[in-house]
Structure 1
Amino acid sequence: MAVITHETKTQFKSAPFDVALAETEFGRYNYFLIIVSGIIIVNTVLEITGIGYVLPIAECDLNFSETQKSALSCIGFVGIICGSYIWGLLADTLGRRKVMIPSISIAFFITIISSFSINFIMLITLRFINGVFTCGGSATIFAYLSEFHFSKKRNRVIMGASFFSAIVSISFPFVAWLIINQDWQLKIEFLGIIYKPWRLYLISCGLYGLLGTICLYNCYESPKFLLCIGKQQESLEILKKIYSINTGKPSSEYTKGSQRVDKLEFGTIEYTVIYEVIYPIAFLLVASGMKFVGRVKILFLILTICGTCSILSAVINIPIIGIFLYLIQLLAGIGVTVISSLSVELFPTHLKTMAVSLAFMFGRFGSVFGSNLFGLLMSNHCEKAFIGAGTMLILSGFFIFLLPKPVKTVLPTKNNEPIENENDEDIYITKL
């Protein structure tokens, strides 16, 4: 059991860590952290998937074959898979913030270099390296965000960060269209390339990473991580600073106790915009539903409904209905956020980031394998591809019920207001 000691002439007392977090109150720092987390999630999505907007244009300049385009479309996921374990290990050893800042910064630097690629080999190598470093923020951010909030708020803030990223995602097709469709070019003699708008778009995909890194410099290390590695005093100082930012009161008042407040083609772009609008709406419905029916049941509903829509899209002969059913199927991605919020509850702090990273690693391995298998089936077995994908989603929905339930304990506060603590750890912080 970790205990923070803060010796003074006055008497001191111990409080469960979730209670200590709750008494920092929910305010400006928490909102800022949610936005920063959303920015990093957006960066991960853009860095990995943004290449998809580039390929139809870049193939003319770099002479890509169909096989090479397929490889480029999933190479970022391969990089993330390869980097998941090492970044999880480093985040659980060195700290969340210490891992995210350099990894995301290097990923942005690699993105800039990749925009000057002269051939397929150079581009796919750099995009792979970019995926490896992007991974440093993609899984770590969920553990980082969760460790600043007690269990009652934890699920909401993770959903909030994901919802923020979903809202921002609406702009993706518009930004791609505005940049890539510009009519200018710059000849770079010593590289033997003509720098065109699609190369600039690659850099724009990494700008969220740059912004996220700058914002992380203004954030603190996870107080729960510091407590778990024995840096009790540093953890307490961070909680004091958060309390001061959130309430506007002197940090010294935190140790006396505070009142806890719970408060390319147009057709392609058209359907993408519809999907990006539906996505945040679905997020709101899921976030609201979690409060009433719980995460496990919500995840079951997401997977079974999306799986059913996938199967129906393959058998219905009305194109417009098939397209909308397919768009609904894609909403299964919301389940990633729900499973992330479950994952951070199921594992202790000293293993949390590695566990989430490994979960993401296997998920992305499935993405790479599934993308290539789906591409092979689309040519001659299109209907079977959609039916198979839908069946897997429905089966996954039933497997959800096999997950262990987080252990709930009720922690008392000084106001005798109970806080539910979903964790397998007894972590206490000593306060004056």
Structure 2
Amino acid sequence: MDMKPLVQRERNGACYKATSQSQSGENEKSSSDNQDDKLLEKTELEDFTVQEAIDHIGFGWFQIKLSIVSGLTWMADSMEIMLLSILGPVLSCEWDLQPWKQALLTTLVMVGMAAGSSFWGKMSDQHGRKTALALASSLIGYFGLLSAFSPMYLWMAICRFLVGCCLAALPQTVTLYSEYLPTHSRAACLIALEAFFAIGAAVEVVLAMIIIPTLGWRYLMVVSALPVLFFPIFSPWLPESARYLLTCGRHKEAAALLESVARDNGKTPPRGKLSLQNLETGERGRIRDLYQQGSRRLSIFLNTLWFMLGFSYYGMALLLPTLLNKPDGCH
């Protein structure tokens, strides 16, 4: 009996077995590598930022409600500013004010805004934007109502200065609003929000035309102080800044907040873990950091731009009633 074919078959069988084992090992290794890649990919997808979550959820009913509340707050800010140009000539006649005293009422509001901006900025960073806005809005309404009962010029000057100090917090409305806007619609929504500022100024003028001739300027001040109270009234519904919650280490609250936003919009929140990533959790920023190398030119440019805008806009808005007033306009 020839043993060669048998030996050959045994060798071939052993070779096939070895080859199969080798291929099986390679397949297992390849499968293991694929699983590792998928696990790595999954791990990478698990971390997402607040902005990535908002972009995933998109624009919906939540943003619409927030737009209305933010817009009403912005209207209230505009009404308080426009009130200055209306009250000046009226108070000048009633209290026989010298021109510098009339101008000082307007100036004190602006000085108050400048003085209060730093305080409210720190307040927002330490206690949250929602808390700062609710407190500032309540105080604006309170001091606005006190202004209506001013028995003398000094009382009015102090109240308007305190109103100005609290008005400095209202730009935080735009900050809070922008944090919940998807990237693709943020610019359009923020520009549209400015329409509320113009509407507020127009409403204040119409109210003045109706109320002052019939009821007097004190009633106008009462009515003008009411819209700003919308924010503290609706503040239980309003969200806190998710970024603020994260920087405070309140991750579960931030995640729950984003889930609530998703439910309002009829969407599902992104899967994974909410991450700080680029958010700073260490030392707080300082104003002088804005003027360091790399951001100095932009900061100076923006400061100059805002100064020119404020000078032009408020200069025209506050000066125009005085220019149009008759020399013997008191009657």
Same-fold call, TM cutoff 0.5: yes
Q: Which residue of 2 aligns with 1:200?
A: 219
Which residues in structure 2 correspond to 1:11-410 (within 5 Å)?
13-137=46-170, 139-182=171-214, 184=215, 197-247=216-266, 253-256=268-271, 363=306, 367=310, 371=315
Q: Flag the 1:39–1:348 CA change in 2: closer, same or farther, 3 A.
A: farther
1:316-362 Cα shifts (integer Å, max 9, x gaps)? xxxxxxxxxxxxxxxxxxxxxxxxxxxxxxx979659998xx97899
| Residue 398 (structure 1) aligns with | none
TM score, norm. by length of structure 2: 0.68
Which consecutive unaligned segments of at least 5 residues does structure 2 have?
Answer: 1-41, 273-278, 291-299, 324-331
Unaligned runs of 5+ in 1: 1-9, 185-196, 258-346, 380-432
Question: CA distance change for structure 1 residues 348 and 38 in 2, over 3 Å: closer, same or farther?
Answer: farther
State the alpha-carbon separation in 2 of the partners of residues 361 and 75 from structure 1.
22
Give the alignment's TM-score, normalised by structure 1: 0.53
**SS of corresponding position for 2:269:** helix
Any runs of at least 4 consecutive aligned residues in structure 1 with deviations exceeding 4 A, and if so which? 347-355, 358-372
- Residue 71 of structure 1 deviates from its aligned partner by 1.0
SS at match of 1:171: helix
* Distance in 1 separating the partners of 2:280 and 2:75: 27
Amino acid at match of 2:202: I
- Give the SS at the match of 2:59: coil
The letter for the 2-side match of 1:90 is M
What CA distance in whole angstroms lies between the structure 1 residues aligned with 2:207 and 2:286? Answer: 35
Q: What whole-Å deviation, never above 9, does each CA across 1:138-160 have from its counterpart, x for those lacking one? A: x2112111111232222122112
Provide closer, same or farther for how the CA distance between residues 23 and 152 of structure 1 changes in structure 2, counting only shifts above 3 A: same
Does the CA-based 8 Å contact 2:57-2:262 persist in structure 1?
yes
Query: Which secondary structure state, in structure 2, belongs to the residue aligned with residue 181 of structure 1?
Result: helix
Residue 168 of structure 1: how far off its partner (Å): 4.2
Q: How far apart are residue 121 of structure 1 and its match?
A: 1.0
**CA separation of 1:115/1:60 partners in 2, compared to 1, >3 Å: closer, same or farther?**
same
The amino acid of 1:60's aligned partner reads C
| Paired residues of 1:243 and 1:254 also in contact (CA < 8 A) | yes
CA contact (8 A) 2:55 2:183 kept: no
Given that 2:53 and 2:269 are in contact with CA atoms closer than 8 Å, whether structure 1 keeps it comes out as no
Distance in 1, Cα, partners of 2:58 & 2:286: 24
Tell me the secondary structure at the aligned position of residue 47 of structure 2.
strand
| Cα deviation, residue 256, structure 1 | 4.9
CA deviation profile, 1:85-107 (whole Å, cap 9, x unmatched): 11111112211001000111011
Q: Which amino acid aligns with 1:217?
A: P
SS at match of 1:143: helix
Using the TM superposition, give the Cα deviation of residue 201 of structure 1 relative to its aligned residue in structure 2, in angstroms. 0.6
Measure how far apart 1:63 and its partner are.
2.0
Q: Is the 8 A contact 1:33 1:145 kept in 2?
A: yes
Taking structure 1 as reference, are residues 238 and 352 closer, same or farther at Cα in structure 2, changes over 3 Å only? farther
**1 CA distance for matches of 2:231 and 2:79?**
13
